[in-house]
Copies of this chain bind each other. A is one copy, B any other.
Amino acid sequence: MTAATTRYALLGLLTAGERTGYELRAEAEASVGHFWREGYGRIYPNLRRLADEGLVITRTEPGRGGPERHLHRLTEAGWRELRDWLRRPVASGPPPRDELLLKLFLGRHADPGEGIALLHARRDLVAASLDRYREIAHALENEPEPDRTHWRITVRHGELLAQAALAWCDESIGALERLETREEPA
C-alpha cells in the first residue's frame, strides 16, 4: 500500500517550474486545495528525499530578507518518475471513516433532534463548498486547453459530490423529523 503520495504531489506541482517549499505549499492550497493539502511538516522532508534520490535538483538563492531560498526543479528522472506514476492504477485510499455517519448510525441512543442538528451543520459546510466549486468552475472558463478540461474534471467532482451530499442532508433531516413527530405524539 505505502501511499507516499506526497512525493508525487510535489513532483506534480513542480511541473509548473522551479519553486521553493514555501511556494509549493501556497500553490497547492490555491490550485488543488479542494482535494489535496500539504503542510510544511511534509513538504520539507520530502523535498530533501526527492533531492537525495535525484528526482529534483536544488539551487540556493540568497533570501530577500529571511533565510535562503531553496529552489527545486524536476530532473529528467523526476519527470520520468512522475509520468510513470500517472500511468499506474490508483492505490486504494485509506479505509473510510466517517464520524458523522457513525453518530447517525447510533442515533437510537440519542435524541432525533441531535442528529438533525449535526446534519444542519454538515449541510452548511457542504453548501459553502458547493458555492466555492461553482466559483472556481466559472473562473476556469477562461483557461486554455488542455488544462481547462483536466482542471474542470476535478472541480466537477467536487460540485457533483457536494450536490449529492446536500440532497442527502435534506433527505435525512426529513427522515429524522418524521421520526421525531412519530415518537413524540401531539
Distance A116 CA – B56 CA, assembled complex (angstroms): 29
A107 and B150 contacting across the interface, CB-CB below 8 Å: yes
A149 and B164 within 8 A (CB) = no
Residues of B within 8 A of A147 (CB): 108
Segment at the interface with B among A18-26, A58-66, A87-95: A87-95
Query: Separation in Å of the A177 CB from the closest CB of chain B?
Result: 10
If A15-B106, A31-B105, A156-B168 are given as contacts, then 10 extra A-B residue pairs at C-beta distance below 8 Å, sorted by A number, are: A3-B99, A5-B99, A12-B102, A12-B105, A15-B109, A35-B96, A36-B102, A104-B150, A107-B146, A156-B171
Q: Which of B5, B85, B182, B183 contacts A97 (CB 8 A)?
A: B5
- What separation, in Å, do the CA atoms of A107 and B182 have in the docked complex? 52
- What residue of chain B has the Cβ atom nearest to residue A164's Cβ? B164
Contact in complex: A110, B83 (CB < 8 Å)? yes
Give 9 A-B contacts (CB < 8 Å), ordered by A residue: A5-B97, A5-B102, A12-B102, A31-B105, A36-B98, A36-B101, A37-B97, A83-B110, A153-B176
| A106: nearest chain-B partner, CB-CB | B12
Q: Tell me, yes or no, whether A135 is within 8 Å of chain B by CB.
A: no
Does residue A75 face the partner (Cβ distance < 8 Å to B)?
no
In the complex, A90 Cα to B106 Cα: how many Å?
14
Number of identical protomers? 2
Of all chain B residues, the one with the shortest Cβ separation from A86 is B110
A109 to B31, CA, bound (A): 16
In the complex, what's the smallest C-beta–C-beta distance from A47 to chain B, in angstroms? 17
- Measured in the bound complex, the distance between the Cα atoms of B158 and A172 in whole Å is 13
| CB contact between A98 and one of B93, B107, B163 (< 8 Å): that residue | B93
The 9 A-B pairs at the shortest CB distance, nearest first, are namely: A164-B164, A107-B150, A37-B95, A86-B110, A35-B98, A35-B101, A153-B172, A160-B164, A12-B106
